[in-house]
A and B are shown apart, each in its own frame.
Chain A
Amino acid sequence: MQTQILAFIVWGTLALAVVGTYFFFLLSTRQPLEGEDYYRAVGKLRKPLLIAMLIVLSLTFGFTIGSLPYATSRDLPDRVIYVGVKQFSFLLSSQPLVSEVQMDTLGGELIEIPANSRVEFRVRSFDVNHGFGIFAPSGELVAQTQAMPGYVNRLIVTLPKEGTYSVLCLEYCGIAHHGMRASFNVFSPVTGSTQ
């Protein structure tokens, strides 16, 4: 399942459980019972709650910590796309792009990537922090990394769906932050079409 949907369902379920619990306790004050030490009684739930949280959080930690998006130096992609970013544009290039002047000299290029290949986006910024967010043809955010001056961020992804992907900026970078964009195509290596 899409990560966003799963996360939303988990949050929604827990949120409803919390709200339900709060109203249960609120309504319980309508039938007060003097004399009984209910504080103690509810306090007895502390240990089970602690243990339950430890178990759930450890399991979630164990299941999720394996899928880190970080590339190691041994990770070899099928191809590298160089990304240069500055206020307020992206440049995607198959040629190495390491300095700011190349943002003007390299010129735009239509990037075509075969579906299901491992592609690395090597992201650099030449002024402030920006974000490099990849949006699938369906509009779903599928991957991102930051673009930070002085650093190179390597984002390795496998894109299974064909079509036109958009790149939007995911770190506020000034007045035209919302207007920064780029795109690339993912095509099927079998049919050769992008649709």
Chain B
Amino acid sequence: MASTSISSLPLFARLWSALFVILFPVLGLLGVFMRLFQSEMLPDIEPSWFYAAMTLHGLGLVGLVYATSFALLITRLSQYVAFRPSMLYVSTGLTGIGVILLVVLFLVRFGPGWYFLYPLPFKSAGVWPEWAPHVFLVALTVLGVAWLLWKLETLRAMAKSFKFSTMLGWHVLAGKAEPSVPPAVLVATICCIAGIIALSAAVVMLVFFYYTLLTGNAADALLVKNLTFFFGHVLINLAMYQGIGVLYDVFPTYTRHQWPMTKPMAIAWNLVLLLVLFAYFHHLYMDFAQPVAVQIIGQAASYGTAIPAAVVTILGTLAHVYRRRVEWNWSSLLLFFGTMGWAVGGTAAVIDSTVAANFRFHNTLWVPAHFHTYLLAGIVLIILGGIAHFVSRAREYTLRPARLPISLLLIGAYGFVTMFYIGGLTSVPRRYAIYPIEVAHGSTLAQVALVFVALIMVGVAVYLWDVGRLLFLPSKRSS
């Protein structure tokens, strides 16, 4: 079934890879700006710029990793199923419009945060203009539509080649080996279903915002917060899961060992679909008005999500390499270590999803600590590894085993997040442009973090030279 070509969508893959290698460093620089600000090295700049940068950095990077991991997954899927490229480009174009609007909003210092709680976008305390929330809602609507279409097209394309129950691996659960369905199809199916549910919740959330905008009446803040986090939580987790789909499909090329769909894998991903929808309650533990039963379900579901991840994907990755002649290079090493970031960050997430711990950690730097671990040291590495694989195949280029730059990336990323963890340990709040006297040590942590960020920057620069550059050279094959 699998063809040998890496993709029947070479241009699409190249477009998203190029977007990623440009936008990831640019949006990362906004993070550097925030750390500089928290270090008190930019005393003449207004805090409103910090919060605007925080918003664009958060929304931009979450959106970027979500979209790029999905684009790479689609590129892999296109070996097995036929997409209508026009649909993919429509989604890509709409995403572009949404992103341009977000950048415009940054310029007027629009800063409600990446997860924005009702009704903050309407209550700027004089910072951003009155039209900003209108534009923001339009931008989010455009992005929502783009990504909904994208997921629907993917489901359609897969359903043409596979029966729905086999896409979910139910035949494997029933003990049948045939038909053989690539794990990437299973993962994509789970991500499409969860994604469509989450994006629908986002639509309802936007309706509440539009309602207030048009009628001036207030909506229920707790209900909207539930919708916001349901959407945000699922979205950020899907970004990781989509990357795992890419991992299943690409990693075996370097270990020379099949990664077929097995019963544990099918069980795991069906479970993930269920658990990811209920774990989001952990974001509302400190809303004491939320029913207690729901808080308990949140802790149980959050603990539950750790199991399929560890038992199937993490263990599977390790089993793949054990005493095997693995071809270690930019791609395989980044994919391998990307799953490590997922494991380390996931552990911190499970701790924080314990209500009793959340009482002390909620909205402290523990939160950016755990999500930067599985985003920066996790999914970003997986995406960079996926791009390296794609580039090297498309250009018949042999990747080198870039041990030194990858070491720099790892030391930099783990050192950087460790400063956030220490911030959580010592009660430093997240989302503070300036640290008050009680937590003044927060700015020392920010300074140390900057040293580690410098290491990340060197590692990324070498990657861009070794790998990223190839994306922009004129195409070899078509000439």
Contacts and interface: CB of A to CB of B under 8 A. Distances in A.
A and B are partners in one complex rather than unrelated chains: yes
A113 to B, nearest CB: 18
B287 A42 contact: no
B347 to A, nearest CB: 5
Interface in B323-358: 323-326, 328, 336-337, 340, 343-344, 347-348, 350-351, 354-357
B288 A145 contact: yes
Contacts, number: 244
A190 interface: no
Interface string B313-328: 0010011111111101
B425 A174 contact: no
Contacts of B426: 4, 139
B320 A39 contact: yes
Q: How large is the interface on A (under 10, 10 to 19, 20 to 34, 35 or more residues)?
A: 35 or more
Interface in A164-189: 166, 168-179, 181
A3 B221 contact: no
B225 A170 contact: no
A19 B296 contact: no
Contacts of A87: 123, 125
Contact of B322 (A10, A42, A155, A174): A42
Main secondary structure of the interface of B (DSSP, over half): helix
Interface in B213-245: 218, 220-222, 225
Contact of A128 (B117, B355, B432): B117
A101 interface: no
A166 B436 CA distance: 11
Counting chain A CB atoms within 10 Å of each CB, which of B222, B295, B363 scores highest?
B363
Interface in B97-136: 111, 113, 117-120, 123-127
B427 A46 contact: no
Contacts of B357: 3, 7, 64
Chain A interface helix/strand/loop/mixed: mixed
B434 A178 contact: yes
Interface in A125-173: 127-129, 131, 133, 135, 139-146, 148-155, 166, 168-173
Contact of A170 (B289, B325, B344, B429): B429
A75 B288 CA distance: 14
Nearest to A43: B319
Contact of A49 (B111, B289, B310, B351): B310
Which size class do B's interface residues fall under? 35 or more
Contacts of B366: 7
Contact of A178 (B47, B320, B326, B336): B47
Contact of A141 (B257, B307, B320, B364): B364
B200 interface: no
A110 interface: no
A129 B362 CA distance: 14
Contacts of B343: 18
Given A53-B306, A65-B355, A175-B47, A25 B347 contact: no
Contacts of B359: 3, 69, 143-144
A28 B321 contact: yes
A72 B279 CA distance: 24
Nearest to A8: B425
A65 B297 CA distance: 11
B319 to A, nearest CB: 4
Nearest to B258: A39
Given A135-B439, A144-B359, 14 more contacts: A22-B337, A26-B321, A39-B257, A39-B324, A46-B311, A50-B311, A53-B307, A54-B307, A88-B125, A131-B286, A141-B427, A148-B222, A170-B364, A172-B120
Interface of B: 47-48, 51, 111, 113, 117-120, 123-127, 218, 220-222, 225, 257, 264, 286-289, 292, 295-296, 299-300, 303-304, 306-307, 310-311, 315, 318-326, 328, 336-337, 340, 343-344, 347-348, 350-351, 354-357, 359-364, 366, 421, 424-427, 429, 431-436, 438-439
Task: Identify the 8 closest CB pairs spanning chains A and B, nearest first.
Answer: A42-B319, A141-B427, A32-B325, A178-B432, A172-B431, A151-B289, A153-B288, A170-B363
20 contacts: A3-B360, A4-B424, A5-B425, A7-B361, A29-B328, A31-B323, A39-B324, A45-B319, A53-B306, A64-B356, A87-B123, A131-B363, A142-B360, A144-B360, A148-B222, A149-B221, A151-B289, A166-B438, A172-B431, A175-B48
